[in-house]
Amino acid sequence: MNNIETIKSRRYIRIYNHSGSSIGIPLYVSDNRTIKDGLIKGARNGKPGYVDVTWDDICYMNDTTSVIKDGAVRFDKEDEKAIYEELAILDWESILFDETIEDIILHPTMEKLQKLIDTDDLLTVEKMRSKLHYLINAGADISMKTIEVINGRWKEFRRNQRVSNITLVPIKASKSADEKDVEKLQDEVAALKAMV
């Protein structure tokens, strides 16, 4: 892990876009103190898009947009912790990055789906829907419950509802026919033993 002073001293710091879509970012040009728009291309063939920016660019992005706080862009693994801490994003490990969203969609659990429901920012909900549609189009097997949660959360945001009313209800496992037959036979055996 690199310390923040080492990171700040670099001429450029690489930021990555793991999503399939390009992301517009504001850049602070310190030479003439102007602002310009930048673009990070989306991931292609499993490789993220990237752009090299200055520390001033990162600070400006963090102050004026949510692309860092919402996980739309990422940093090199060895730099992440120091950068997030310097930017006062202390809960950065709970950010729903693209690969986390994909894991939740493909391997849902009650806890993982609850993270999607608890999301309170539109950018992350849009990332969830984008990833969902990408995976559906790629032929992935996705549970209906996961699709309902993501689409339900998106509909809530369309109604300006930031706190979700979606509740997850665990499914009780029912006994299979074989288990019922075994229990029935065990009861019959016990009854026959009692008669003898």
Q: pLDDT of 35-78, one tens digit each?
A: 667 788 988 888 999 999 989 889 989 998 888 998 889 999 99
Inform me whether the pLDDT recorded for 30 exceeds 60.
no
Q: Is the pLDDT of residue 31 over 60?
A: no
Which has more confidence, 59 or 28? 59
> pLDDT over 70 for what percent of the chain?
91
d(CA 173, CA 151): 26
All residues at 6 or more sequence positions from 71 whose CB lies less than 8 Å from its CB, including other chains: 95, 96, 97, 98, 100, 124, 127
Q: Cα–chain-centroid distance for residue 97?
A: 4
Q: Give the per-residue pLDDT at 26.
A: 80
- What tokens appear for 152 in the block? 């339900």
DSSP string of 76-103, one letter each residue: -HHHHHHHHHHTT-TTGGGS--HHHHHH
What pLDDT, on the 0 to 100 scale, is given for residue 22? 87
Determine which helix (DSSP H) or strand (DSSP E) holds 69, and give its type and residue range.
none
Q: In the structure encoding, which two tokens stand for residue 191, read together?
A: 């009854």
Reported confidence tier of residue 123, pLDDT bands at 50, 70, 90: confident
Reported as a single tens digit per residue, the pLDDT across 134-177 is 899 999 999 999 999 999 999 999 999 988 999 888 876 555 66
Task: Please give the mean pLDDT across all residues of the chain.
Answer: 86
Sorting pLDDT into bands at 50, 70 and 90, what band is 33?
low
* pLDDT of the residue at 75: 94
The H-or-E segment that residue 51 falls in is strand 49-53
Quote the pTM value. Answer: 0.72
- Triad 145, 97, 73: Cα angle to 5°: 145
Dist CA 104 CA 56 (whole Å): 34
Give the position of tokens 């102007």.
34
Q: Which residue has the higher pLDDT, 93 or 28?
A: 93
What residues form DSSP beta bridges with 74? 16
